[in-house]
Structure 1
């Protein structure tokens, strides 16, 4: 049976080029499990929580020490600055077994200025039901950084969020999908009627009469109930090639830092774009007014305020119908458009109908 199946798949692969069932869909019930926990990060170089303002950090430290057999004297007040209370989150892979590792994300929940250089202590991770499924521990990898002086500070990215690679370890087996059902449910990653119809056609070409579409996002396939045969069937099913429709041109905008990611085949209609800016500057100069040497006046502090409003010259750019979005972005960068202005221009072009692409803001 599997020899014949391999020949049929080989014939289909030679005639059809495109994505596969595995890349376009996922098997229903085969899902990851989100877990969350509360813990402590220690070893910070003086960038931890200010325990006088964050009482739960001190309470957590006291409870942890008591659990380890260390009882502090009554009324003892701690002021550590190298500890931070954190929330730990992660996704356990589908059908994970005890001992399997996964990545976790650690986020400060107090007023710690940075988690760089810290170590996450053993933290229980539980699901929505409250059951503990895993535990996490390890050294943090933080991409952000911060520095602070007497009168100035500098922050790059977010130093209060870090990751622990393979820091989580599964303690309880994850629920498995129902292997006795007579049908397998395929859930499309991007629901689309054309994709669903082509998936059904491709599956029925290999397994005649086994697939049926139930809308734009679900396809049901008859499968063997025997576990061994079912595994082989699913392995073959996931490798069936499918010709998906061309993806919709998309522009992805990161609203936090102004990053713009463009897809392929993005076109625009003729339009004119004007870029400019208005800047307002307010400057306060504190001054001291003193009386003369023999007067009876009082020294008074006054503030001299200067307000400046400057309108910068607008740049007008004409874009014809043959221009691509890549050319638009390059042109706008040439005239000095900032990332924030670029995002605003793209949103305005989409609202006007000049941008023929889906705009996605993250």
Structure 2
């Protein structure tokens, strides 16, 4: 009994060691690297009024569109103000935007964003009046209304003012009610297109192979680096929704080209795992020149006649140069070796950007550099 228990413990340890030492692959689900054709959001936009502001709205003298919109709104309630002089800062004209999720049904609520377009200083405490939200085709798909939640604030006095965030923009959670649905019958389709978020020939081929191996037929094919066409097999009993729910859980190892992303504004560098460097020697040094002005006042001799005080310029120039030895990067080094080699030079991220660009100019960097 003890021997069996001891053998079982050894077997468990060996299996665990094998799992730990096995190579790890960055396999991703198909649903995480592709988008289904037709399943997307739609942008909505509208023009409305925010009322109830505490004197922080538009000036009706400067914002003619706010005055006209306010008069038109009051006329809908049988209030005639065309010949009257309106003088209020409790109203602001705004642009309302929203994203209509796919397959949204009537009665579904979505979030909306409200942004001032006049000279209003803050939308805090305001309420958006019912605003139709239209799509690119000019049709009304939702109606927005509710109290605006503003993250920023503004306060001012006679001699000072303070502003935090953006008080002229806010959000209304679940502030729009969907009135019109966008019809898209995906269940009865016989074929669908999967769009890769990062187009690549190898990734498209692997995606099609994973689907075909799972279904046991040639139901998927890579049409181009960005598209995989999926056809529902004749023997499949479910509809396209059921097929997609099974296929999107399959795992594929994406393949990406060697690329270096550089953001010079922030000094950020992002390198892919496939970045390689040919044999190259690097030397990086800083040259600092300091110029200091120390003017000296020259006084005339005591009791001298016609003497003047003269300011004489005096300049001190010093030059300091860091002594840096050449660093050698071997051919075909991996990403970790490349990072270690650059860090060994003791350079800052901004200097590293210049080094990478110089390596690419010499032809030793086997990757594409993209500067944001």
Q: Same fold (TM over 0.5)?
A: yes
Q: Please tell me the root mean square deviation across aligned C-alpha atoms, in Å.
A: 4.0
2:54 pairs with 1:40: no
Contact 1:42 1:84 in 2 (8 A): yes
Report the alpha carbon displacement of residue 142 of structure 1 after superposing the two structures with TM. 2.7
Matches within 5 A, 1:141-290: 141-207=149-215, 208-223=217-232, 228-245=238-255, 251=261, 253=263, 270=282, 272=284
CA contact (8 A) 2:63 2:119 kept: yes
Deviation above 3 Å: which 4+ runs of structure 1?
A: 144-157, 177-181, 224-228, 246-255, 258-277, 313-328, 330-333, 345-361
Which residue does the alignment assign to 1:125? Answer: 133
In structure 1, the residue corresponding to 2:53 is in which secondary structure?
A: coil
Q: Distance in 1 between matches of 2:222 and 2:320?
A: 54
* Deviation at residue 358 of structure 1 after TM alignment: 5.2
Counterpart CA distance in 2 for 1:37 and 1:325 is 55
**Separation in 1 of the partners of 2:264 and 2:172?**
25
SS at 2:208's partner residue? helix
Task: Specify which of 38, 42, 48 is matched with residue 29 of structure 1.
Answer: 38
Structure 2 counterpart of 1:81, from 66, 85, 89: 89
Q: Secondary structure at the match of 1:214?
A: strand
Q: TM-score, normalised by structure 1?
A: 0.68
Following the alignment from structure 1 to structure 2, what is the Cα–Cα distance between the partners of residues 101 and 110?
Answer: 28
1:285-304 pair list within 5 angstroms: none
1:49 to 51, 54, 58: 58
Q: Once the 2 structures are TM-superposed, how far is the Cα of residue 115 of structure 1 from its aligned partner?
A: 2.3
Q: Which moved more, 1:52-61 or 1:158-167?
A: 158-167
The 3 A distance-change label for structure 1 pair 211 and 41 is same
* Cα separation, 2, equivalents of 1:350 and 1:332: 12
| Closer, same or farther: CA 274–102 of 1 in aligned 2, 3 Å | farther
Deviations 1:334-361 (A, max 9, x none): xxxxxxxx6xx68756654579775464
The verdict on how the C-alpha distance between 1:61 and 1:275 changes in structure 2, with shifts beyond 3 A counting, is: farther
2-structure distance, mates of 1:261, 1:23: 25
1:110 aligns with 2:110: no
CA distance in 2, matches of 1:136, 1:316: 63
Structure 1 match to 2:143: 135
Between the aligned partners of 1:247 and 1:139, the Cα distance in structure 2 is 48
In the comparison of the two structures, how many residue pairs are matched? Answer: 300
Q: What's the CA shift string for 1:92-116, capped at 9, x where partnerless?
A: 0111111112222211111112223
Q: Tell me if the contact between 1:146 and 1:155 (Cα under 8 Å) persists in the aligned partners.
A: yes
SS of the equivalent of 2:221 reads strand
Q: Tell me which residue corresponds to 1:71.
A: 80
- Extract unaligned runs of 5+ from structure 1: 1-14, 278-312, 334-341
Contact 1:350 1:359 in 2 (8 A): no
Given that 1:16 and 1:241 are in contact with CA atoms closer than 8 Å, whether structure 2 keeps it comes out as no
Aligned partner of 1:60 in structure 2 is 69
Give the 3-state SS of the residue equivalent to 1:30 in structure 2. coil
Structure exhibiting the larger radius of gyration computed from Cα positions:
2
The SS at the match of 2:95 is strand
Residue 297 of structure 2: aligned partner: none
Residues of 1 paired with 2:214 and 2:51: CA distance? 57
